[in-house]
Structure 1
C-alpha cells in the first residue's frame, strides 16, 4: 500500500492513520506521505526519503533502499485504496484482540462485571463496521476527549524538552549507563511533585541512595561529597532539605528491589487509587520476572503496566537499558533491550546518548552556529535525547549538558 501511494496511488475514501500500521517504520513512512500530500507536494520515493531525513527517521525505516523496495513491491498503484482497506482491517482485528485481552484480564482480576462489559462493548463499538463509520470514529474521539477533560490535566511536559507525556500512557526513555537517564527522571520528579503526586520505584538503588541523589540536585553538591566537608550551617541546611524531601506527601519513594511483578503492579494501582498521577520505574529490565523467554516476559509486563496506566489514568515513565552499543554511536530503537515489546506498547520512546568527546566538540560548535545558547568551551558532556516514537505528537531532538555528580541536566535552548 505504501509503495502504491509513492507511485501515485490514492486512498480514496478509506480512512487510515499512522497508528493503523503494526510496524513503527511503516507509520513513519505513512506520516511522511501524508505530510507531503497535505502540503501539495509530489509523493515519490525521493520526496518521502527527503522528508524522513529531515525528521531524523530515515535510518529507522531502513533507508532509501527500503523505500525503493516498497515501491517495487506494489503490483498496481491504482489499487492503493484497496490495499489501505486491508491495512485498516488488520488494524481493527488487532484492536479486537487487545480489547478482548484487556477484558479477560479485568475479569480474572475481579473487576466489576458491569464495568468490564461496558468497557469491552464500547471498544467493540469503536471498531465496528456497522452504522456510519465516520460517526463511530467521531464518537470515540469525543469520548476520549471527555475522559481527558475529566482529569486535572491530560499531559505533563517533560522538563527541559518540548515533549508532552500523556496520562494513561507508558513512556520509555532508554540509554546506556551514565548518560543521565535517572538524572532526567529525578529532574522531572522535582518539577512534577509541585502539582502532582509522584511515585518513584527504584529496582536498583536503596531509599538512602535515592535521597542522596535528590539532595545532590537540590544543593548542587555532588553525590559523593554531599555528606563531606560541610560547615554546621550547611549541615543544618542539608538536614532540612533531607527532611523536606522525605516528608513530602506528594513524593513517594519505593525501594523496589526484590519486589515481585504482581507487587509492582499492585503498588502502582494502590498509588493511583490514592490520587497518584505519575509513576517512574527505574529501570524496567529488572522490574519483571523472567519465566520462559526474556522478550516474551518483557512484552507481558509491558502490557500489564500499559493496562494499569490506561485504566487508572496514571502516566508511567519507564527507564530502559540498551542491549548493545550502537555501531556508529547514535542509538536507534532496535538498540533497546527488548525493543520489540517496548516499541509496541509504549506511546512515547526517547533515546538518550552522549557523542564521543571529539564528535561532541563538533556538535557543540554546530549547535552554536544553529542559534543554540551554548558555550562550546563548557567541559560538561553533551547529551542528546532523540524522541523516536511520539504517538501524540512529532518526533524531535533535545540537547542537554550533564552534571552527573549533581544529578542535573541543563537544557540547551535556542536564542529567542
Structure 2
C-alpha cells in the first residue's frame, strides 16, 4: 500500500521553543512595569505565545496586576498566584524570584519577546500543517469536500500571515494626518456608509465600517424583519455584499420573508401556496432580482465568533468581503470558551463582534433580546437597561436601536401600525426616535410616506 509520509526520518521533531527567553521576558516584566508594554506589543495577537504553560499562567497573572494598576513585583505576583491557587503549580515562590534573578536589566524585554514570538509562530505553523494533514486523511469520514478543506487551509494560512505581520505594523498617527483625514472626509463625503431603507433612521444613526450596531427588542417585535430589511436594501438595491448569519430561522424561512418583502405579496399566502396569478408573477420577478444580489445566508446554529472570522477571511481572499455582517441573534451565538455564567459568555461574544467590525472594516449588525422587565411597566417603551444577560452588549456597541410597537401590547392603540426605532445609544450622534410603518403581512417595515 502506498503511503505519503515523505518526512525525513532524521528530522528534529522537538517543538520550537526557548524557555530561557520566556524566563527572561517574565523576569524583565517583574523588574520594570515599562517592560510589560514592551513584551505585549511584540506578542500581541499571537495565540499561546509561551510554550511552557506555567509561564503562560505567570504572564496572564502579571497582565492582570498591570491592568488593575497594582504594583508588579515578585511579592505581589507571588501573592496573586497564591490567591488563584496557581503558586505551587508554577514552581512556588522560589521560581518567581529565580525569574527576576535571571536577567540583569529589563532593557532587553522586547528582544526576548521577539524570540518568543518567532518560536510561537513556528509552533502555529506546525499545528496548522498537522490539522490540515488530518483533515485530508479524514475527509472520507467527515464528508468534507476538497473545496471546503482548501478554503479552510487558505483561511488558516491567512490567519498565520496576519499574525506574522501584526507585530510589525504600527497604528500610530501624527496629529496633522489625523486633522487632514477629518477635513478630507468633510470635503469628500464617504460613500461607505451603509445605506438603510429608512431615510430618517439613516440621518439619525448612519452606520459606518467598524461599527457594531445592536438591534434589540422583545420576541416577535420585528428584529428579524429589520435585519432582513437592511440586508435586502443593501444587497438588492445597492448591490453591496451582505452576509446574514441566521441562527434562529432556517434559510427557507428567511427566503420566504425575503421574497414576500421584495415582491410585496402577503407572507401567509406565499407560505400557504395561495398566491394569485398576478402575485406569482411578482414573486418570479423578485426571484430574479434576489438571484443577482450579493446576499449570502448561513443558517448554521450556535455559531462562534471564530467561525464568522474564518468565513470573512475566506470571502476577503476571494475579493468578496461584504459591506455588512448581520447576526440573528447575539444571545444564541456560541461562546468560544465556557465561562462561569452566561453573562460573561455574552459579553465575550459582543467583544468578538466588535473586533470583527474593526478588523475587516465592515458594519456588524446584531439582533439582541430584551428582558421582560419592560412588559411589567405601565409604559412599555424599552430602555437600555432592558438588554438581556449583558452590559457588555451596550458597552461595545457603537449604536443601540430598541424596537417598539404600541399595538404589540394594545391592538386598539391609536398608534396601531406604527413601528418605532428608538436610537438609545449613538456614539457619533444624538439619540432620537424614528417612527416608521409596520407591514408585517408583507414581512417589511417602510417609511411612513411609503405606507
The interval holding the TM-score normalised by the smaller chain is 0.5 to 0.7
- Residues 17-416 of structure 1: pairs in structure 2 closer than 5 A: 104-105=44-45, 110-112=160-162, 115-119=165-169, 121-122=170-171, 125=172, 136-140=174-178, 142=180, 153-160=191-198, 161=201, 162=203, 163-193=205-235, 194-227=238-271, 228-232=273-277, 234-235=279-280, 237-242=282-287, 244-245=289-290, 247-273=291-317, 274-289=320-335, 291-292=338-339, 293-326=341-374, 327=377, 328-355=379-406, 364=415, 379-380=416-417, 382-412=418-448
CA shift digits 1:329-381 (9 cap, x unpaired) = 111111112341111111111111122579787774xxxxxxxxxxxxxx52x
Structure 2: any 5+ residue segments left out of the alignment?
1-35, 49-158
Query: Counterpart of 2:260 in 1: which secondary structure?
Result: helix
Q: How many residues align?
A: 289
CA separation of 1:190 and 1:346: change in aligned 2, threshold 3 A: same
Report the counterpart of residue 104 of structure 2 in structure 1. Answer: none
Structure 1: any 5+ residue segments left out of the alignment?
1-95, 127-135, 365-378
Query: Counterpart of 2:381 in 1: which secondary structure?
Result: coil
Report the counterpart of residue 35 of structure 1 in structure 2. Answer: none
Q: Distance in 2 between matches of 1:102 and 1:399?
A: 49
Q: Distance in 1 between matches of 2:42 and 2:221?
A: 36
Q: Distance in 2 between matches of 1:387 and 1:102?
A: 40
Structure 1 contact 265–305 (Cα < 8 Å) conserved = no
Q: Distance in 2 between matches of 1:151 and 1:106?
A: 37
TM-score by length of 1: 0.60
Structure 1 contact 265–304 (Cα < 8 Å) conserved = no
Q: Distance in 2 between matches of 1:347 and 1:358?
A: 29
Query: Counterpart of 2:406 in 1: which secondary structure?
Result: coil
TM-score by length of 2: 0.56
Structure index of larger Rg: 2
Q: Distance in 2 between matches of 1:317 and 1:403?
A: 22
CA shift digits 1:298-317 (9 cap, x unpaired) = 22122222112112111111
Shift of 1:397: 1.2
Structure 1 contact 211–242 (Cα < 8 Å) conserved = no
Query: Counterpart of 1:264 in 2: which secondary structure?
Result: helix
Structure 2 contact 241–323 (Cα < 8 Å) conserved = yes
Shift of 1:320: 0.8
Structure 2 contact 263–285 (Cα < 8 Å) conserved = no
Query: Counterpart of 1:295 in 2: which secondary structure?
Result: helix
CA shift digits 1:42-97 (9 cap, x unpaired) = xxxxxxxxxxxxxxxxxxxxxxxxxxxxxxxxxxxxxxxxxxxxxxxxxxxxxx99
CA RMSD in angstroms, aligned pairs only: 3.5
Query: Counterpart of 2:244 in 1: which secondary structure?
Result: strand
CA separation of 1:413 and 1:104: change in aligned 2, threshold 3 A: farther
